[in-house]
Amino acid sequence: MPRFEGRDLTCLRSTRVVFAGLDFAVDTGAALVLVGPNGSGKSSLLRLMAGLSRPFAGQFLWDGAAIADEPDVHRARLRYVGHLDAVKPALSVLENLTAWAALDGGADPRGRALAALERFALDHLADVPGRYLSAGQKRRLNLSRLALAAAPLWLLDEPTTALDRASVARLAAEIRRHRASGGMVVLSTHTDLDLEAPAVLDVSDFAVQPAPGEVLL
């Protein structure tokens, strides 16, 4: 039985069916790469996986148990990096990250934030206010949340956007380390990220083509 799977998922955005009948499965240590043209529903699928929105039909299973039954447990085992970076311009890099570390209620948020900044080579910017960061630096700050505490499932929406090559390599190394320790990664990307043996899911394969003359919903 795969660790994390989705069965027969249908995603509805207002009145448009983005995809239907989508199945996927991710096992321990695996990486799933979502591909497909813009608007095919990669981000929507990641938000569904995170539990930020609900599928119109279908369900998500974790070790065979329905995730919808215990959303709190699911939230605790995932890290979601969306395409918005959630960086507060008035707070420094370290304060931004410490605020997120503090929310999980764990001990020593500041120390964990400092360690996470080092992993993403942002420690020299620790005292710089968020408003002075470049797009790539904001993205790295957002990604460094991944290193705050261990979580088995990483959901990354276009994580390489605005990153330079060194940072892309660093992210690939973090993902490798995460998978080696049994973690799972689901990510959408247009650029090549150096991943070992990723499973690829083309979301546009599940797009719904309306029959001629048929009006969908």
Q: Which residues make up the interface to other proteins (CB under 8 A)?
A: 50-54, 72, 75-76, 78, 80, 82-88, 90-91, 95, 99-100, 102-105, 109, 145
How far apart, in Å, are the Cα atoms of 206 and each of 11, 52, 159, 179? 10, 21, 23, 27
Instruction: Give me Rg for the CA atoms of the chain.
Output: 18
List own/partner pairs for 106-110 with CB under 8 A and 24 or more apart. 106/149
User: In 3D, which of 190, 197, 199 has the Cα closest to residue 43?
Assistant: 190
Looking at beta carbons only, is 108 or 194 nearer to other proteins? 108
Looking at beta carbons only, is 14 or 209 nearer to other proteins? 14
Minimum CB–partner distance for residue 100 and other proteins (Å): 7
Q: Tell me phi and psi for residue 118, to 5 degrees.
A: -60, -40
Q: Are strands 184-188 and 16-26 parallel, antiparallel or unpaired?
A: unpaired
Looking at beta carbons only, is 76 or 173 nearer to other proteins? 76
Minimum CB–partner distance for residue 147 and other proteins (Å): 15
Q: Identify the three-state secondary structure at position 4.
A: strand
Minimum CB–partner distance for residue 83 and other proteins (Å): 8
Residues 145 and 116 sit within 8 Å (Cβ to Cβ): yes
Looking at beta carbons only, is 40 or 96 nearer to other proteins? 96
Looking at beta carbons only, is 87 or 117 nearer to other proteins? 87
Minimum CB–partner distance for residue 143 and other proteins (Å): 13
Residues 26 and 1 sit within 8 Å (Cβ to Cβ): no
Minimum CB–partner distance for residue 95 and other proteins (Å): 8
Q: Which residues pair with 81 in a beta bridge?
A: 156
